[in-house]
Structure 1
Amino acid sequence: GRPRRCGWLDMVALRHAAMINGLTGIAITKLDILDGLKEVKICTSYKCDGDKLDNFPADASVLERCEPNFESFPGWKESTSGLKEYDSLPENAKSYLKAIEDMLGVEVQMISTGPGRDELISLKDQF
């Protein structure tokens, strides 16, 4: 695919979105772009004016002063591209996905592993 700039997952914003929208499940897309990274990170809180913020600020002027606090997880060298079974994922990828579920309090229900429609791991029947 074409080159992209991707940022780390912002769990503070995602928790806020989950709360506002009443999420019961989440799809993780582009897992395959993390292949080969030594570590992967999740923003777990913000630092603003010396304070730690666990919740998404209601005021945009506060948000623009925030810096992310990250938790790091071991990356994986194995390719996830095109995988269709959860059990085929590298153990570190599974641990990363479990951390997302634990932090968010919502199940990961789908994982995309490539650009194709069929490059998908479905963990729960959606229909």
Structure 2
Amino acid sequence: TDYFLTKLDVLTGIERIPVCVAYDVDGVRHDEMPMTQTEFHHARPVFEHFDGWEENITGCRTLEDLPANARAYVEALEAMSGTRMSAIGVGPDREDTIVVRDLIG
């Protein structure tokens, strides 16, 4: 299983968070970035928007500590990517991290 890390705190205060979920090439939806040069230049991103949050998440240390909208965003990223998050950055310092799954072991 793949794991990834995100810096969630930089999204705090954004009312609606856009996430590119596909590409439209001349009316045809592609779930992955088109590989040909022509299609690439005609590709337009298709966005899904998620409700943002205003709460300060710096002190959060578990997923349950996150505001509901932040948690929903994390869960949506996991579902879209087919991977699980191991750690989530919630502030500028190293200890400002929610460790979801141990990266070592």
Task: Say whether residues 1:116 and 2:93 are aligned partners.
Answer: yes
Q: How far is 1:36 from its partner?
A: 1.5
Q: How far is 1:117 from its partner?
A: 1.3
Higher strand content, 1 or 2: 2
Task: Say whether residues 1:49 and 2:21 are aligned partners.
Answer: no
Report the equivalent of 1:84.
Answer: 61
Task: Say whether residues 1:100 and 2:89 are aligned partners.
Answer: no
| Distance across 1 between alignment mates of 2:45 and 2:66 | 28
Structure 2 counterpart of 1:37, from 3, 11, 14: 14
Helix, strand or coil at the partner of 2:42: coil
Q: TM-score, normalised by structure 1?
A: 0.74
Helix, strand or coil at the partner of 1:64: helix
| Distance across 2 between alignment mates of 1:117 and 1:44 | 30
Query: Which of structure 1's runs of 4+ aligned residues deviate more than 3 A?
Result: none
Contact 2:34 2:43 in 1 (8 A): no
Helix, strand or coil at the partner of 1:37: coil
The number of equivalent residue pairs is: 104
| Distance across 2 between alignment mates of 1:112 and 1:40 | 17
Kindly provide the amino acid, as one letter, of the partner of residue 26 in structure 1. Answer: F
Q: How far is 1:60 from its partner?
A: 3.6
Aligned-residue sequence identity (percent) comes to 32
The structure-2 alpha-carbon separation of the partners of 1:58 and 1:36, relative to structure 1 and needing over 3 Å to count, comes to same
Q: Note the residue ranges of structure 1 that are not aligned, 5 or more in a row.
A: 1-22
Report the equivalent of 1:70.
Answer: 47
Q: TM-score, normalised by structure 2?
A: 0.88
Task: Say whether residues 1:126 and 2:99 are aligned partners.
Answer: no
Instruction: Please provide the CA RMSD for this pair.
Output: 1.5
Q: Note the residue ranges of structure 2 that are not aligned, 5 or more in a row.
A: none
